[in-house]
Amino acid sequence: MTVLNVLPKSLALVVIGLLSVSFSSSQEQTESYFNEEALLRHLETLSSDVFEGRLTGSNGAIKAKEYIINQFYSLKIQPFKKSYEQSFLFSKGKKDFKGTNILGYIEGTLEPNKYIVISAHYDHLGVNNGVIYNGADDNASGIGALFSFAQFFQKYPPKHSVILAAFDAEELGMQGSSYFIKNFPFSLKMIKANLNMDMISRSDKKELYVAGANVYTFLRKAVCCTESKKVNLITGHDGYDDKDSWVYASDHANFHKRGIPFLYFGVEDHEDYHEATDDFENIHPEFYTEAVKVIISVFKKIDVH
């Protein structure tokens, strides 16, 4: 005999309701936001030799650009403007480059005129002395996470409008994000925050750092109290502790310079950082998939307010 059989009918209905809410909440927490196998497959593909290290302007970078656009299209992500591509020119030393940002767009359900920019750079170091620098962690991992966000938004449309930004030329001085900020078609005040992902797929200590919450303190509530047992999300590397500052370390710096709040997710440098050994085989799949889930959970908290 169950407990419900000995309860008054009205009370039994209340208990059933509470159990249903509890089950629903538990189900929502355990439901995967995205296809984890697809996430790993994207990282493996983008960090393969086919893309020749994705140096800005190279044939490998063009292939990567086309791959990202195809994924955005298949995931029903609209272009931010008429085209996914935002091309720009710049010089580095005595060499001229043509870069291309890829910008996807999801209109917000409640605050369509407020934007959250979720970014990751897709370029890397290319080929040096015949050796391909594949950049699996740096930063095929961030681009894979953009695709997972796109999958997430298919089920859970955001309240604020979202720009999924795959920036080019980060390795050459954060040129792509600089161009994006300088040519944003609306007031920069309409950008609520930038969530930037750069190197999020491996950590021996299972530590994912988030910089920016000590600079923009109102974001602390969004990064606290994560429930993951597989990833330890740590605030820091933003000038308010004894660690080196990451405030100007990646594309989020160009948002910060214009007073736009940011959160930067990344791991500490490892032995394969900017080495030819930064390959898919050296990432930590379980850590990576869980890190992406944690970052999505932070986005959800920011999107609510």
Q: How does DSSP assign 213-270, residue by residue?
A: TTTSGGGHHHHS----SS-EEEE-SSSSSSSPP-TTSSTHHHHHTTT--EEEEEPPP-
Cα 101 to Cα 43, 59, 148, distances in angstroms: 19, 15, 19
pLDDT tens-digit profile, the chain (305 residues): 443 343 444 444 443 444 444 333 333 443 578 999 999 999 999 999 999 999 999 999 999 999 999 999 999 999 999 999 999 999 998 999 999 999 999 999 999 999 999 999 999 999 999 999 999 999 999 999 999 999 999 999 999 999 999 999 999 999 999 999 999 999 999 999 999 999 999 999 999 999 999 999 999 999 998 879 999 999 999 986 656 999 999 999 999 999 999 999 999 999 999 999 999 999 999 999 999 999 999 999 999 97
Q: Where are the domains of the chain?
A: 36-304
Of 3.40.50.970, 3.40.640.10, 3.30.70.270, 3.40.630.10, the CATH number of 36-304 is 3.40.630.10
pLDDT at 7: 42
- DSSP β-ladder status, 191-197 and 131-133: unpaired
Do residues 204 and 271 touch, judged by C-beta distance below 8 A?
no
pLDDT at 2: 40
pTM here is 0.89
Helices (H), 101-209: 141-155, 175-182
pLDDT at 161: 98
Q: What is the DSSP letter of 77?
A: P
Q: Which of 295, 301, 299 is nearest to 142 (CA)?
A: 295
Q: Which of 107, 105, 135, 136 is nearest to 118 (CA)?
A: 105
